[in-house]
Amino acid sequence: MQKILVTGGTGYIGSHTVVKLQEKGYDVIIVDNLSNSQIEVLDSIEAITMTTNGIENIVFSSSCTVYGQPDKLPVTEEAPIKPALSPYGNTKQMSEDIIRNTVNAVGNLNSIMLRYFNPIGAHESAKIGELPLGVPNNLIPFVTQTAIGIREQLKVFGDDYATPDGTPIRDYIHVMDLAGAHVVAVDRMLKKNMKKDLEIFNLGTGNGYSVLEVINSFEKMSGEKLNYKIVDRRPGDITEVWADTNFANNELGWKAEKGIDEMTLSAWKWELALAGK
């Protein structure tokens, strides 16, 4: 059985990807320091599925943040890399550089870099999902925690952007669609179907939704009215970004399937499960 090492495998995206890999028949080894996850996630992964050296292939979890505020939308993989607007974006750029240089220097190493757009949602079982420790940095956990009563109010950072409703626009992708793309990437490597030793793919839906559109979707699907307030912009936030997914769709044979309503509903079911409801 082929072994796959997943770093951060008990985290949000990692845990969902582990499930997909195990469903595909891979023997998954998880390495995680639990800095932003809990060991109990392993029990949830087991409930859903039933479980160094010589590395030749690396799938790297990159991010659309490497593009900054793109000059053209939608964003293709050929878009220029711009100076990072946040420490997070800077770490992704540095990591890509390290992998790129290593691939160039080592003759038998291949890498696929997957540039995520905005992963949200949870597994359909509601046994795993996004569980940030402390105050969430991402929109959806703050939305669901506000709706469930953990947070008093949701802050919407700015309504004066050059978008139809004034709030920032992002390409949101269901975490299970994202996890599925990882399985496709691993298969591509192990079956030696790569066209070159370093490949880059944008992972998104190709659709942009504003913060207020996400809130409206959540309220519609959950039946809950959110207590939110417009506040000042947050430093480092760009106006809008969404993916050109043609290359990933055509080359990988992969396409995101779930829409925004499915994403917000699955996130709400996860939050309800956490609360024992």
Q: What are the φ/ψ torsions at residue 60 (nearest 5 degrees)? A: -105, 130
Active-site annotation holds for 228: no
Which one is catalytic: 12, 26, 67, 88? 88
Q: Is 82 exposed, middle or buried (0-12, 13-18, 19+ CB in 10 A)?
A: middle
Query: What are the boundaries of each domain within the chain?
Result: 3-274
- pLDDT digits 0-9 by tens, 15-43: 999 999 988 888 899 999 988 898 888 88
Dihedral angle, C-alpha 131, 137, 139, 140, nearest 10 °: 0
Q: What pLDDT, in 10s, does the model give residues 39-57?
A: 888 888 877 778 434 678 9
Closest CA to 168 of 234, 227, 87, 218: 234
Q: What is residue 259's DSSP assignment?
A: -
Pick the CATH number of 3-274 from 3.40.140.10, 3.40.50.720, 3.40.50.2300, 3.40.50.10300: 3.40.50.720
Query: Strand, helix or coil at 165?
Result: coil
Distance CA 56, CA 73 (A): 34
Q: Quick one: 192 exposed, middle or buried, by C-beta within 10 A (0-12, 13-18, 19+)?
A: exposed
Q: What's the average pLDDT block by block, 10 residues per block, for the chain (277 residues)?
A: 90 92 89 89 79 73 93 96 87 93 85 96 96 87 96 96 97 97 95 96 98 98 97 92 97 96 98 94
